[in-house]
Amino acid sequence: MSADKKTLLVTGGSRGIGAAICRQASRAGYRVAVNYVTNRTAAEALVSELEAAGGEAFAVKGDVGSEADVVAMFEAVDKGLGRLDAFVNNAGIVDVKARVDEMSAERVERMMSINVVGSFLCAREAVKRMSTRHGGKGGAIVSLSSAAARLGSPGEYVDYAASKGAIDTLTIGLAREVVLEGIRVNAVSPGITETEIHASGGQPDRVARMQAMLPMKRAGTADEVASAVLYLLSDAASYITGAILNVSGGR
Ligand code: NAP
């Protein structure tokens, strides 16, 4: 294991935006821990791809909606790759289209458990490792918010939009909480991005259906979102904390 490399953990790193972040980070010289929850094949294929290109990577299973899994995931990264320098709170879910007056408690609780509680627990574990208050050497955290936090997603998934509003507030509050402890905390807020998340919410045609309504007449790519994440993790962003960077093509 080379000593000069930084270690990064990306939740939901196996596919979509997370996988693009892992690829760009590996090319930039990070050791990368690729978290997944069910799709071991995708995570292992990505690790093999990164290793074949000369990178150091490691797949780690864990459901961010489970506190025991989150704790075990961070411990596995400590053992597998060493001290954590950077963390990306990327894992997130949508659900099928529904109005608020149709939502069950189970649906809203699942959304909040994975997107909000999961992000808080992962941020907690990252801070425990990075903060100078806990003997750490500092670091950078980036979370994936969404333009939905500003737009509200009416008739589609207000629960998802609200979960991303919570990510924005987590970003602002945590950034100020740890600003003197060597940690920068920021968020990237993508607009519609081409990944499999839309199909997982029962709308495989969502990008095709909506692109004419977008200012650039196209969705963003996972790589375009990942570039912003890598910038915020990097020393080039050394005076940026508590920022929410829109990567939404003017939307
Ligand atoms: P995606 O293609 O659906 O990929 C989701 C990733 O998260 C997969 O790696 C999946 O693992 C993992 N995951 C799902 N539930 C998890 C859990 N409970 N614990 C751990 N990992 C879990 O999603 P994406 O489009 O790349 O989205 C990434 C982030 O960007 C999300 O936070 C999303 O809300 C946000 N975002 C996306 C868009 C968009 O249009 N795509 C727009 C704005 C914001 P498996 O491979 O094991 O299933």
Atom nearest to 91 CA in ligand 1: 7
pLDDT at 247 > cutoff 90: yes
Given a contact cutoff of 8 angstroms between Cβ atoms, the answer to whether 94 and 157 are in contact is yes
Q: Find all residues with CB under 8 Å of 117, minimum gap 6, and list them.
A: 65
Residue 207 CA to ligand 1 centre (angstroms) = 16
Residue 2 banded pLDDT, cuts 50, 70, 90: low
Q: Could you tell me the domains of the chain?
A: 7-247 (3.40.50.720)
Q: Residue 120, exposed/middle/buried by CB under 10 A (0-12, 13-18, 19+)?
A: middle
Residue 54 CA to ligand 1 centre (angstroms) = 26
Tokens of 98: 């529904």
Per-residue pLDDT at 1: 57
Give pLDDT tens digits for 142-183: 999 999 999 999 999 999 999 999 999 999 999 999 999 999
Could you tell me which of 14, 93, 107 has the C-alpha nearest to residue 58? Answer: 14
State the Cα–Cα distance between residues 247 and 190, nearest whole angstrom.
5
Mean pLDDT of 131-136: 97
Mean pLDDT of 100-128: 98
Mean pLDDT of 131-140: 97
Residue among 11, 14, 17 to mutate when testing ligand 1 (max atoms within 8 A of CB)? 17
Mean pLDDT of 172-197: 98
Per-residue pLDDT at 151: 98
Which residue CA neighbors atom 10 of ligand 1 most closely?
Answer: 12
* Beta-sheet strand order (sheet of 86-89): 57-61, 31-36, 7-10, 86-89, 139-144, 183-190, 244-247
Identify the residues whose C-beta falls under 6 Å from ligand 1.
11-12, 14-18, 35-39, 42, 63-65, 90-93, 114, 144, 146, 190, 192-193, 195-197, 200
Mean pLDDT (the chain, rounded): 97
Per-residue pLDDT at 179: 98
Q: Which residues are catalytic?
A: 160
Residue 135 CA to ligand 1 centre (angstroms) = 32
Residue among 32, 197, 223 to mutate when testing ligand 1 (max atoms within 8 A of CB)? 197
pTM of the complete model beyond 0.75:
yes
Pairing status of strand 7-10 against strand 31-36:
parallel
Which residue CA neighbors atom 8 of ligand 1 most closely?
Answer: 12
Per-residue pLDDT at 3: 63
Give pLDDT tens digits for 40-97: 999 999 999 999 999 999 999 999 999 999 999 999 999 999 899 999 999 999 999 9
Atom nearest to 38 CA in ligand 1: 47
